[in-house]
Amino acid sequence: MQTIKAFYNPTTDGEQFKGLFPSDPRWEADCADAVIRDLQEFLSAARRDYFIKKVPAYSMIPNPEGGDDFLPAEVENQYHLVRSVDHRVVSPHTVTDQYAPLSLMDVAEEIAPWVQAGWATPDAVFEARNGSLEVLVLRLDAGGEIADGDFFVHYIVIQNPHGAGGKAKGKIISFRVVCCNTFAAAVSAASDFAITHRVAKGDSEVQAEIMAKRTQEAVAAWEQVQEHIRQLSERINVWNDATIQFSDAEHLTDSLLGITKLEDASTRKKNTREAILSAFSMPQYGTFGRTAYDWLNGVTFVNSSPHAETVQKSKVGTIERTVRNMDPNGTGFKLEQKAEKVLAGFLDN
């Protein structure tokens, strides 16, 4: 079982805060003794203040002078990505000279204004996929009650892939406190942002101009955060006002899972259907079997909550599940997105 090492920032001094992610036997989590407000200082405390650099890739070729031995030869325009501190290779494959390595310290340079302005606080940092994916989490200061007694905490989750997965991506994740559900697809992607690993060639002045522009774009993306929260609040109010029956929940669930005849459905779909319908009414986790919001929470509960039996029994690790739920190409994100579309079509009719 792969062990994940994470570092957390408490919400108050001395608190052992577990952050956005639940406890998991695969995690080894340390927590700062006191709240760290500075992003670079947080990364340094987490020992994530290294840089990523390119080193030439080599292949073994026959000795040009003859014999049976082989010699290393540099492969033209092919590089490995390595950490500056331990020279560990973190790229799953080689990259070309057009690829610009991006460390978490580089990311911090671009989003530090958010933290410095008091909009966000460092929350957690960890890696996945053998170091080829780093995840940095910021918690926003805009949490609290957003609709009819429903309390949320909002996070920005930044995925920084090395040599795979394209750009570093930042996404707002809204965390429903009562049931530990995460909402990633609940609003448009307008609040998401990306930091590319490709930069134009040029001298230091040209590169400085590029980085300055990218910093401006990252700060501008912050303006979408409040819009994200406003849209989520509006949608929750709509879902809360829409009363549905259990038969409606059955219809919605069947539409979501593509079930036309229950007797013909696979065992997996039947189990997922049962789990969603059970979660439609779980007062201990904030659903009461009465509204469209209860049904959608049933879907996200099964999809992401550590309290859900489906999650507890899943062989999918916590980090991988998190990535699937927040990545637009991930299976969890797509299920949540489809649920909202199915629900929107139902409410429109």
Judging by DSSP bridges, how do beta strands 70-83 and 150-161 pair with one another? unpaired
Is 169 in contact with 276 (CB distance < 8 Å)?
no
Kindly state the DSSP code that residue 3 receives in the 8-state scheme.
-
Helix (H) or strand (E) holding 168, with range, is strand 168-176
Average pLDDT over residues 40-54: 92
Q: Give the pLDDT band (50/70/90) at residue 325.
A: low
Burial 166-203 (b: 16+ CB within 10 A, else e): eebbbbbbbbbeebbbbbbbbbeeebbbbbebeeeeee
- CA 346-147-237 angle, 5° bins: 25
In the structure, what pLDDT confidence band is assigned to residue 1 with cuts at 50, 70 and 90? very low
pLDDT at 291 over 60: yes
Alpha helices in 117-203 (DSSP H): none
Write down the pLDDT at residue 14. Answer: 67
- Calculate mean pLDDT across residues 186-196: 55
Tell me the per-residue pLDDT of 95-144, one tens digit each, with 9 for 90 and over. 888 888 888 998 888 778 778 877 788 988 988 777 888 989 888 865 55
Nearest-angstrom CA–CA distance, 271 and 291: 22
